Homo-oligomer: A and B are copies of this chain.
Amino acid sequence: MLAESAEKYRHTRSTTERFCAPLAIEDFVVQSMPDCSPTRWHLAHSTWFFETFLLLAFEPNYQPVSADYQFLFNSYYNGVGKQFPRARRGLLTRPTVADVFEYRRQVDQRVMRLLSELPHDRATEAARIVELGINHEQQHQELMVTDLKHLFSCNPLQPIYRSPSDRLATHTPSNSAVWSSFAGGVTSIGSSAATFVFDNECPRHQTLLQPFEIRNRLVTVGDFLEFMGDGGYTRPELWLSMGWSAVREQQWAAPLYWEQRQGQWLRFGLDGLCPVSADEPICHVSYFEADAFARWSHARLPTEAEWEQAAGTLEIRGSFLESEHYHPQPCGPDCSSPITQLFGEVWQWTASPYTAYPGYEAASGALGEYNGKFMCNQYVLRGGSCATPRSHIRSTYRNFFPPDARWQFSGIRLARNPKSQHESSMPNRSA
């Protein structure tokens, strides 16, 4: 079992480092906003995770590579110790990038040795920590993409991480969007966890759904331009109250990374500044924008349970980190199929606040801080994105961000109540 763990470990660690290859040392260091972290910090923190929860726990008398790193690269685990303040991660120029890669190398060696030497009776437990650490590092792979994009977007030189590949000449017919109906009823969601899942996906449990309809494909740039053209960003009646405040205070008039030049909308990406493409999924919108677009569409966002029922046992297909597009791709030939684009491309905002499933229990110890303590004022997103590793996503996976977050690859899928339900009158309801 640990041989397999070791193999996955090696693969994950090298994937992380491969993404860094095109970067200049300068690019590793800077923090462009408190929500983002420097690339170097991601490299070090994911290493700290293995050192702390694996080496320190399983290797007798293990001495940390550096006592300072234990403090500097702890993200938010109060159970482990104090943390260097998140918003100041960009103030550290030492350890250098080379130091951090050396830190990775040393921890990798020790992990490899541990996995080859660990006695049988601890193997299961260690394998679980390794798997958790791999999934943790995969999350940081995605953040490395989104945080680098944000950093580069702050630079008027608009640095290019990698030149654009040839684009697929895909066309998404405007009539390709159809509603797929689901009957609702008592259904089970969440994971029974025969394989690795995060604690927030558990336990698998029954829930009751009303009948619903869900859109077969993602909302496109073209769809969203219609919303913008219809005054979407200037009509308060379309917005949640907090969303409307965000529009005015942050002066939102388009998705993040968009700018208008001579009447044309351009979007910044890791491949530079390009005209927007109508067929691509809309991206870098907040929950507030997704919600307003849905209201404008006389629809709504799906709940996470609806999304999960729709996903059912569909095969996981789409653009992921491995395709190295770092940008959502248009819907291909299966664009008119009853349900498509559920995975990859962009995370799909759901209408569901991020809460504990019934019977949820956080893990014990410091690892219990992984998910549970963030269950407040965030919304669930489903399906993964073009920056998510393929092996990281599944239909029960719950991502979560605050409703004003826009720097993730986040997009929109619509849902609605069936017609018959619309017609039922509610005569005494007021206000």
Q: Is A236 an interface residue (CB 8 A)?
A: yes
Q: Which of A148-156, A166-174, A260-268 participates in binding chain B? A: A148-156
Q: Is A157 an interface residue (CB 8 A)?
A: yes
Fill in one digit per residue for A345-376: 1 if any B CB lies within 8 Å of its CB, else 0. 00000011101101101010001111101111
Contact A428 B193 (CB under 8 A): yes
- Chain B residues with CB below 8 A from A367, complex form: 430-431
**Which of B159, B355, B377, B430 lies in contact with A132, CB distance below 8 A?**
B430
- Chain B residues with CB below 8 A from A351, complex form: 355-356
- Chain B residues with CB below 8 A from A377, complex form: 242, 377, 403
Closest to A362 in B: B431
Give the docked Cα–Cα distance between A430 and B131 (Å). 9
Q: In A196-249, which residues have CB < 8 Å from any B CB?
A: 196-199, 202-203, 205-208, 210, 236-237, 239-244
Contact A193 B30 (CB under 8 A): no
Q: Is A32 an interface residue (CB 8 A)?
A: yes
- Chain B residues with CB below 8 A from A376, complex form: 240-243, 403
Q: Is A92 an interface residue (CB 8 A)?
A: yes
Q: Is A88 an interface residue (CB 8 A)?
A: yes
Q: Is A59 an interface residue (CB 8 A)?
A: no
User: What's the least CB distance linking A128 to chain B, in Å?
Assistant: 5
Q: Is A47 an interface residue (CB 8 A)?
A: no
Q: Is A79 an interface residue (CB 8 A)?
A: yes
Contact A156 B84 (CB under 8 A): yes
Contact A426 B208 (CB under 8 A): no
Contact A193 B429 (CB under 8 A): yes
Give the docked Cα–Cα distance between A205 and B93 (Å). 48
Contact B91 A154 (CB under 8 A): yes
- Chain B residues with CB below 8 A from A206, complex form: 208
Contact A197 B428 (CB under 8 A): yes
- Chain B residues with CB below 8 A from A24, complex form: 93-94, 96
A interface residue count range (under 10 / 10 to 19 / 20 to 34 / 35 or more): 35 or more
Given the known interface contacts A93-B151, A155-B93, A243-B376, the answer about A29 and B32 at a Cβ–Cβ threshold of 8 Å is no
Q: Is A338 an interface residue (CB 8 A)?
A: no
Contact B30 A28 (CB under 8 A): no
Contact A155 B91 (CB under 8 A): yes
Contact B71 A193 (CB under 8 A): no
User: What's the least CB distance linking A237 to chain B, in Å?
Assistant: 6
Give the docked Cα–Cα distance between A194 and B429 (Å). 8
- Chain B residues with CB below 8 A from A193, complex form: 426-429
- Chain B residues with CB below 8 A from A30, complex form: 29-30, 90-93
Q: Is A78 an interface residue (CB 8 A)?
A: yes
Contact B363 A431 (CB under 8 A): yes
Given the known interface contacts A92-B155, A431-B367, the answer about A203 and B27 at a Cβ–Cβ threshold of 8 Å is no
Give the docked Cα–Cα distance between A279 and B247 (Å). 44
Give the docked Cα–Cα distance between A244 and B79 (Å). 14
Q: Is A314 an interface residue (CB 8 A)?
A: no
User: What's the least CB distance linking A239 to chain B, in Å?
Assistant: 7
- Chain B residues with CB below 8 A from A32, complex form: 91
Contact B426 A202 (CB under 8 A): yes
User: What's the least CB distance linking A186 to chain B, in Å?
Assistant: 6
Q: Is A121 an interface residue (CB 8 A)?
A: no
Q: Is A26 an interface residue (CB 8 A)?
A: yes
Q: Is A332 an interface residue (CB 8 A)?
A: no
Cβ-closest 8 pairs across A and B: A353-B353, A193-B428, A208-B208, A26-B93, A78-B236, A91-B154, A370-B431, A241-B373
